[in-house]
Structure 1
Amino acid sequence: MILEEPLKSPKVFISYSWTSKKHQEWVLELAKRLKSSGIEVILDVWHLKVGHDKHWFMEQIQSEAVDKVLIICDESYMDKANNRVGGVGNETQIITPSVFEDVKQEKFIPIISERDISGKDYIPTFIKTRMYIDLSNSEKYEENLESLIRNLYNAPQYREPALGKPPAFLFENEIDHYETKTVLRKMKNALENHPSRIEFLSEEFIDAFIGCLNELQISNESIKDVSMLDELVKEKIDKSLPLRDDFIDFLKLLIESDKLDSEIFVELFEKMFVYTDKLSGVQHSYEYQFDQFKFLLNEIVLYTFLFMFKYKKFDIITELLDGEYQLKGVGLSNLHEFSFYLPSLDSLKTKLKINKVNYHADVLIQRSKNLKQELINTDLLIFHLVRFRDSSIYSTWFPKTYIYNGYHIPKIKFYFRLKSEKYALSVLRVFGLNSIEELQEKIEDFETVGYQQLFEKAPTPKQFIKYDEIATKI
């Protein structure tokens, strides 16, 4: 346990006028409240004894041992200070030079204890322009007393935050995503004022997103040394992170607006797939010149499903799993086409001696921030659901991040809730099945996959829910 360093008790001098018995009691009560809060108080009725020199007592105002001087402002104090009369006048002569010599002087704090019938405060001329604390209103007394105590301890309620780092978009190694950010701002505004525009702006976002991909290209001219191509790919992957984050914000806005349509994602996936191979008109390309696009597309698909599961958008999940994708160079295909093997990251792993089973998975995890477990769960769920639809080895979504569960298999809420009959029936379509019995059979017979070099295979559905537990609760 980390122990907090105790706050130093501040020391304050109270300067006030002996206006009336009532006012003296008010000052005394304030002093007692401060003392009870751990603040050392110098007050004449406590510390000015018979035989003491009054001027010596007043000159403690200037002592370095005194952290703050509280100037209790009522009508009598103002008159005596302005006219330099009595003890208040003497204290004023001591205080005034310090106040006028330093416009940022924080040692002297005016405390308003009284106002006139029109509400005007009584503040002496020499501190007229200083910020004060108002204790004249009984309704606001406690709130403002807390502000005073915070000030004395130098512990304000609103602390200035630490100076941060320059925005990431200022650096060359990050993609220029001004266009996607602009559309997101429009969408946020539309969500509040013109919800009907969200669908139109969704198309605008996809166009802006695809436009940004051009910055991730690795041209033949930029490849001076083919052996460095794997490093160029990794640089482009790193550069794509702000664009990935914009997509997550886009997802959240669509969910909040309730304007979800699976066609939005189908269109985006298909357009991104174009970039995973050489563009039209390019005669020659290297083996993994486009791996950065494969990485980003795989990640975009993962986060699409992550948020659809998070917010129970099962219709969208079903449509994306059952849908056909018109992919350049492939034709009509299914979701498993977006589970890529990236030789560039394997090459870089060997070159840099990175001790990871799968560097692609490791980079996904590094970028997942506080969504790590949800990302791993989503990767597994897509693997399971694709496999439910087609168990052939050629149509598998490989759940590359499963190794980051270690030996701990966490609960996946989607499976845990299958114990409810109502819930199980409502999500049968997500599995591509028609009955509880069929679901039980598929879960019991599920065959898994895994990394060849590891004994541990990817978890199967029955590690999250036993087939005979499904639909057992009403």
Structure 2
Amino acid sequence: MSSPPRLFISYSWSTSEHEQWVIDLATELVNSGVDVVLDKWDLREGHDSIAFMEKMVTDPSISKVILVCDQVYASKADDRSGGVGTETQIISAEVYAKQSQDKFVAVIAEKSDAGKPYLPAYYKSRIYVDLSEIDRYSENFEKLLRWIFDKPLYMKPEIGKPPSFIIEPDAPALGTSALAKRVIEGIKSEKGYARGALDEYLSLFSEHLERFRIAGGEGEMDDRVVKSIEDFTPSRNELIQIVTALAQYADPQTYVPRIHRFFESLVPYLSRPPQITQWIDVDFDNFKFIVHELFLYSIAVLLRGEHIESATYLLSQPYYVPGNSDCGKNAIVSYTVFREHMKSLDIRNQRLKSNRLSMRADLLEQRSKTSGVLFRYVMQADFVCFLRADLIRTDSYDRWWPETLIYADRHYGPFELFARSVSKTYLSRTLSLLGVASLDELKAKLDEYASGRRNLPRWQFDSFGPSTLLGFGQLGTKV
């Protein structure tokens, strides 16, 4: 077992109360596994106090030094007076000599009437630990301990490998980047060409998505599906930027029919095209993920910007698929068509012995980190898509499986949309988004979940609570 870290406390004998505060801090540190050197404990009669202080600051066995800063300490340090002044000469030289020095940290014990910490002049550009506020003492004491033990709360992850679209020049691309910039510029500047440029961009996007079709090749099919999804990342981010520009600089209601027609044009990618006569179930799985993700982010961005009516349009208007009726399917489908099962990820989970509850959810969560959209907004969109489909469905197959809600245990209260729906005015918009007419109708559906008459999605033993994510008890409680 490694020896405990040794720490020296530098402080001023300001008042008897302050000295006791320092002793209490030292005792708390000792009880937490720190070998504290304190003059009250270690400096005896006949000892040379100056030599003691010099040794504590420069002794290599002392791994950490904390400077307990109050008004008197800061004043003596700046004036180089008394024992604090002697220590300051040694400490400041150490600090200035090593800019990355992590042996010293200031601990704030007192602040001015203006709320500013008392700090020596030589330390004012450095980070400190504030123990002067009672209500945040425990939180900041933990920060101090983590510093002493070199165990920071946030650790930089290991550097991964560059995505394939960076290191492989032959990765497919839509070729829409120049047009995307023109669309965004037109939207931001309210140019007259913005609508036409958007139509051109969306048409080209849909047409060139064919470039990502997986043809025969070497290796495992699930590897090729995941690689295709990775290669698509720049194009996904491009579309997210355009929808974000619409949400920030325009009235999305003007443009949302075009977005609807765009997703309508993507539906054929989810199944076998007429020219292909031989195929297997997983041949179109990359498109199933890509289209699903694009739809989720479009809803997420609109709801993040509080464009509830635009999101409602995409969820309520049916999607026409020409030629679909010839195959014995409906020519008109709901938005739930954009979420189809991916068998390839089941195969991948088994092949790699990953034992993941949902590899699709994992992919969505990991990919959100490069999207510019926080994952909680993606989860919120997924929850809305699930709930609306489940509340109004008449066909047992017309469901939306909320992949990302496997992570719902990270969300301890209602999503932002529903937290804001404590307002009765806001709630009316939210109920329309969910496709229900009243709170009573919504409650009746939630009661079906609670009684087991309506099943919730499950991942083995994991599920989620709709009432919690809705914050149902607070909905519509304020004017």
* TM-score bracket for the superposition, by shorter chain length: 0.5 to 0.7
Query: Given the alignment of the two structures, is residue 315 of structure 1 paired with residue 309 of structure 2, yes or no?
Result: yes
Local SS of the residue matching 1:265? helix
Aligned 1:68-467 pairs, distance under 5 A: 169=166, 171-172=168-169, 174-177=171-174, 179-219=175-215, 222-223=216-217, 228-260=220-252, 261-327=255-321, 329=324, 330=329, 331-369=331-369, 371-390=374-393, 392-406=395-409, 408-446=411-449, 447-451=454-458, 454-467=460-473
Structure 1: tracts of 5 or more residues without a match: 1-35, 37-164
Percent identity between the two aligned chains:
21
Query: Any conservation in 2 of the 1:198–1:259 contact (CA below 8 Å)?
Result: no
Determine which structure has more spread, i.e. the larger CA radius of gyration: 1
Distance 2:478 2:235 in 1: 43
Matched, 1:471 2:473: no
Query: How much is the aligned-residue C-alpha RMSD, in angstroms?
Result: 2.8
Q: Which amino acid aligns with 1:354?
A: S
**Counterpart amino acid of residue 472 in structure 1:** T
Residue by residue over 1:303-344, the C-alpha shift from the partner in whole angstroms, topping out at 9 and shown as x without a partner, is 011011101111112212211111353421111111111001
Report how far residue 182 of structure 1 moved: 0.7
| Structure 1 residues 193 and 426: CA distance shift in structure 2, 3 A | closer
TM-score norm. by structure 1 comes to 0.59
Q: Give the distance between the partners of 1:291 and 1:450, measured in 2 at CA.
A: 21
Give, in whole Å, the separation in 2 of the partners of 1:288 and 1:166.
Answer: 23
**Deviation of the 1:215 alpha carbon:** 2.0
8 Å CA contact 1:174, 1:238 repeated in 2: no
SS of 1:406 mapped into structure 2: helix
Residue 187 of structure 1 deviates from its aligned partner by 1.8
Q: What is the SS of the residue equivalent to 2:332?
A: strand
In 2: Cα distance, 1:174 partner to 1:459 partner? 41
The amino acid that maps onto 2:472 is K
| Per-residue deviation, 1:288 | 0.8
Q: TM-score normalised to the size of structure 2?
A: 0.59
| Aligned residue in 2 for 1:18 | none
Q: Judging changes above 3 Å, is the alpha-carbon distance between structure 1 residues 196 and 255 closer, same or farther for their aligned structure 2 residues?
A: farther
Moved more, 167-176 or 414-423: 167-176
Counterpart of 1:449 in structure 2: which amino acid?
L
1:458 partner SS: coil
Structure-2 change in CA distance of 1:258 and 1:448 (3 Å): farther
Q: Gaps (5+ residues) in structure 2?
A: 1-77, 79-161
Change (3 A) 1:409 1:175: farther
Q: Given that residues 291 and 342 in structure 1 are in contact (C-alpha distance below 8 angstroms), is that contact kept between their aligned partners in structure 2? A: yes
SS at match of 2:315: helix
- CA distances 1:354-410 after superposition (whole Å, capped 9, x unpaired): 231111111111101162222122211210122122165321101111112336534
Residues in 1 aligned to 2:251 and 2:283: alpha-carbon distance in whole angstroms: 36
Q: Secondary structure at the match of 1:395?
A: coil
The residue type paired with residue 343 of structure 2 is P
The DSSP-based 3-state class of the residue aligned with 2:183 is: helix
1:450 partner letter: P
Question: Given the superposition, is the C-alpha separation of residues 169 and 207 from structure 1 closer, same or farther in structure 2, using an over 3 Å criterion?
Answer: farther
User: 2-side partners of 1:461 and 1:183: how far apart?
Assistant: 43
Mapped to 2, the partners of 1:166 and 1:293 lie a distance apart of 19
